[in-house]
Amino acid sequence: MTDGLSRTAQVARDLIRFDTQNWGGGRSSGEADAAAYVVGVLAAMGVESQTFEPAPGRASVVARVEGTDPTLPLLVVHGHLDVVPADASEWSVDPFAGEVRDGCLWGRGAVDMKDMDAMILVALERILAAGKRPRRGLVVAFFADEEAGSELGARWLVRQHPELFAGATEAISEVGGYSVEIAGRRAYLLQTGEKALQWILLRARGTAAHGSQHMRDNAVTKLARAVADVGAHEFPVELTDTTRALIARVAELLGVDDGDADAVAERTGTVSRFLRSSLRHTANPTMLDAGYKHNVIPSVAEARIDVRPLPGREREALDAIRAIVGDDIEVELVHGDIGIEHRFGGELVDAMVASLGRHDPGAPVLPYMLSGGTDNKSLSEIGIAGYGFAPLRLTPDLDFAAMFHGVDERVPLDALDFGTDVLEDLLLTY
């Protein structure tokens, strides 16, 4: 214990104190200092690592740990070191101070995902300090640039250095294995799928003119109409194998019929924001850019839309956006990535369920599809099946969904310790 904190909380706090904000477009505080810290923690437990820096400051760390059974395929255990930006003026605490308050560790990255980074390091540290080894060999990776599409992190590594992952067939990472309360009962969501990703640009063109003129060909007006139409559009519910199984299990816990999937998901409390988003395509306007002076009508106006299609339905979602905005609006795909979906079964899923069961007996484990995305998308390019398993036992009063990219991001201290215990168990037994 340090300052009354467990080892996992200490490491997570240290990582939060590194400003690794990633604004996208190549603009970043950089991950190099956090990466150097990770290298030091690994070295102290006798694990050699390699650091890769495709651009100045954009550092990723990769290491291999030998397992007790060399006949088994390797498992990739990975996290990312960058975080989305935080506006300190909106927060109750300094987002990079790693403050402990009300039984929680606060700061940008507390749940996305420096908590898991710390859990990985400490679980491995414990195993090796006890003179043990994980059952199967591990590729342990801490990537840069996940929050901006992974072009300088996981995607760069799988394309430039695929040999780093040779022998690995599966991976675990963030946003899965956490608890929710359904009908007064604690259950865990194990992430077996991720929606696809399309960051698109809407562009309207019009006539540049003085702001005092009577003008019908106004680019800003055209764009505003298109953005409003996209933001207000409700895509229909379309279930996949994962979400069909999820809704059936949730309905069973609630004691209701599963015929209306949206209504079932809505009854799960704050986590419904995650679950309802997984039942359909979504498209949310996130940025606007137009004009340069108050009294000048600009000739071009642009908006950025975050589109998350269901896996394998990327073209369908983009066609739907084009139909919504009409022929007057240009639609440009700025960045796209695939969706992934795996069955809720097999040796790894069974092992994750069993590890949770040993530390929280009787709590059901349900499959779910992440409405966002992780670096598992990049690993899928080289045939590695990725799952979300950053186990956390949470209290019902914490709005966990609001923690991701939100203000006052925080994680309970005891959840960090629970997650480390479960992760250590999984690495020793799988």
Annotated active-site positions, please?
Answer: 82, 147
CB-count exposure of residue 331 (10 Å: 0-12, 13-18, 19+): middle
356-366 burial code (b ≥16 CB/10 A, e <16): bbeebeeebbb
Beta strands in 291-392 (DSSP E): 296-297, 300-308, 329-337, 340-341, 365-370, 385-388
Q: What are phi and psi of 57, to 5 degrees?
A: 85, -10
168-203 burial code (b ≥16 CB/10 A, e <16): bebbbbbbbbbbbbbeeebbbbbbbbbbbbbbbbbb
How many Å apart are CA 254 and CA 56, to the nearest integer? 51
Among candidate residues 81, 92, 148, the one with its CA nearest the CA of residue 116: 81
